[in-house]
């Protein structure tokens, strides 16, 4: 075999050439990490996903497939739009018939519900820091103290359900003024915090809708059009910021607008006894291309 089949899909959108593009490469079980990274670099999308057949041990515990996820420069243990997009492609190709499937990845075994139009992903273990100083996060995305949404009374925190983001609440007009500093973003991620990126959010509690942008510092993706893992992190932030009460809470994230890649992420947060029980994110998926790509032959 000298080539591998691939599909390119747009995730978190119901139409082509919107949402977040993703390459899904099949049959890569025998490739090493350097070869997978070379393929991700060739596609040069925010992420490339490699679904792999599960091992016997994984199958025994109910894993339907294993997923490795690469940005153009590094491997991620978990990410939202690759998980949603890959699950949809695999069901379309007949890897499984069931709607309910389990994906194995660096964050553990995660459940998904796959439909003809898209998929819903449940994030991993929720985590949240205490309030963080907003100055460094604001500076990393070219904003100032006056851009914070002081009316919310909720400080920025580093939150996540697999990988973490600094959730930075701002006034709606600040989104268009973001001017990220790549050096500042890298410094903010390490060593200032454990955040993968700064998730700039304008939250409207009256409609349970967030307008968002995500800027990353050290994964080779300056801005992401739709970040499922960050949308999950937002749910954790809403809960620890006391902006939602116990029970089930649905919210929507609109992202990618400033990039010309409008995306819609539908989320559900479950809170019990003041603690986050789970966060789910759902989106539609549209196929835009498929073909064959050469297997990298690296020295």
Structure tokens at 141: 């995305």
DSSP state of 53: P
User: Which single residue is written with the structure tokens 């998929």?
Assistant: 119
Catalytic residue flag (residue 47): yes
Task: Report the alpha-carbon distance of residue 66 to residue 194 in Å, rounded.
Answer: 25
User: Are the C-beta atoms of 212 and 234 separated by less than 8 Å?
Assistant: yes
Task: Report the 10 Å Cβ neighbour count for 34.
Answer: 9
Cα 33 from chain centroid?
21
Characterize the bridge pairing of strands 209-216 and 247-255: parallel
Rg from Cα positions in the chain? 18
Task: Report the 10 Å Cβ neighbour count for 206.
Answer: 6
Q: Which of 29, 42, 47, 287 is catalytic?
A: 47
Task: Report the alpha-carbon distance of residue 163 to residue 167 in Å, rounded.
Answer: 12
Structure tokens at 193: 């915090």
Enzyme catalytic residues: 47
């Amino acid at each position: 075999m000298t080539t591998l089949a691939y599909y390119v899909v747009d995730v978190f959108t119901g139409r082509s050439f919107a949402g977040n593009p993703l390459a899904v490469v099949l049959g890569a079980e025998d490739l090493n990490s350097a070869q997978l990274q070379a393929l991700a670099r060739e596609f040069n999308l925010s992420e490339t996903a490699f679904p792999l057949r599960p091992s016997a041990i994984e199958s025994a515990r109910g894993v339907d497939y294993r997923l490795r996820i690469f940005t153009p420069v590094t491997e991620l243990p978990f990410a939202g739009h690759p998980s949603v997009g890959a699950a949809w492609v695999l069901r379309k190709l007949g890897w499984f018939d069931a709607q309910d499937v389990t994906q194995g990845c660096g964050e553990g075994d995660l459940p998904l519900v796959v439909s003809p139009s898209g998929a819903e992903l449940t994030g991993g273990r929720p985590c949240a820091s205490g309030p963080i100083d907003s100055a460094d996060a604001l500076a990393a995305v070219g904003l100032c103290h006056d851009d914070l949404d002081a009316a919310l009374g909720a400080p920025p925190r580093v939150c996540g359900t697999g990988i973490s983001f600094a959730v930075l609440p701002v006034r709606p007009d600040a989104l268009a003024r973001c001017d990220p500093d790549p050096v500042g973003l890298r410094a903010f991620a390490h060593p200032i915090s454990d955040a993968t990126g700064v998730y700039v959010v304008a939250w409207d509690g009256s409609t349970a809708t967030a307008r968002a942008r995500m800027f990353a510092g050290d994964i080779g993706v300056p801005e992401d059009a739709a970040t499922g893992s960050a949308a999950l992190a937002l749910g954790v932030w809403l809960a620890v910021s006391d902006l939602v009460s116990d029970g089930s809470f649905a919210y929507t994230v609109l992202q990618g607008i400033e990039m010309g890649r409008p995306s819609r992420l539908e989320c559900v947060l479950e809170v019990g006894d003041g603690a986050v029980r789970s966060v789910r994110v759902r989106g539609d998926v549209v196929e835009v291309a498929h073909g064959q790509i050469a297997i990298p032959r690296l020295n």
